[in-house]
Amino acid sequence: DVVLTQTPPTLSATIGQSVSISCRSSQSLLHSNGNTYLHWLLQRPGQSPQLLIYLVSRLESGVPNRFSGSGSGTDFTLKISGVEAEDLGVYYCVQGTHAPNTFGAGTKLELK
């Protein structure tokens, strides 16, 4: 199975600070069809996970544009440009290129 390594495991930030989360894959996530099936989820405390970004960098409908994704191949990054209180929770990267789908271990974003 593809292993997704997320760093850091925990991130402390102040409101307004910009932060980045890394997701590294044990295999290239570029599919033979040209798509890279790497996505980002946020699970707020007490809530279900929410899709933030799909296909590396496409913002899901309704998600604020302070969230952005980048990367290719095996290295990917989620950036939050100006953390807000509602952004606290656990962030996951997830890949769908190679079966079975796999998740990163999560990055917990908390207030400093």
Partner 1 sequence: EVQLQESGPGLVKPSQSLSLTCSVTGYSITSNYWGWIRKFPGNKMEWMGYISYSGSTSYNPSLKSRISITRDTSKNQFFLQLNSVTTEDTATYYCARSGGFRGALDYWGQGVMVTVSS
Is 13 a binding residue for partner 1 by CB under 8 A? The answer is no
Residues 21-40 binding partner 1 (CB under 8 A) are 31, 35, 37, 39
Of 30, 43, 42, nearest to 71 by C-alpha is 30
Do the beta carbons of residue 25 and residue 3 sit within 8 Å? yes
- The window from 16-24, 47-55, 64-72, 73-81 that contacts partner 1 (CB under 8 A) reads 47-55
Instruction: Please identify, using beta-carbon distances, which residue of 19 and 56 lies nearer to partner 1.
Output: 56
Alpha helices in 8-108 (DSSP H): none
Do the beta carbons of residue 24 and residue 37 sit within 8 Å? no
- Give the Cβ contact number of residue 74 at 10 Å: 17
Binding mask 60-89 for partner 1 (x = CB under 8 A): x-----------------------------
The number of residues in the chain equals 112
Q: Which of 13, 51, 59, 88 touches partner 1 by CB under 8 A?
A: 51
Instruction: Please identify, using beta-carbon distances, which residue of 80 and 93 lies nearer to partner 1.
Output: 93
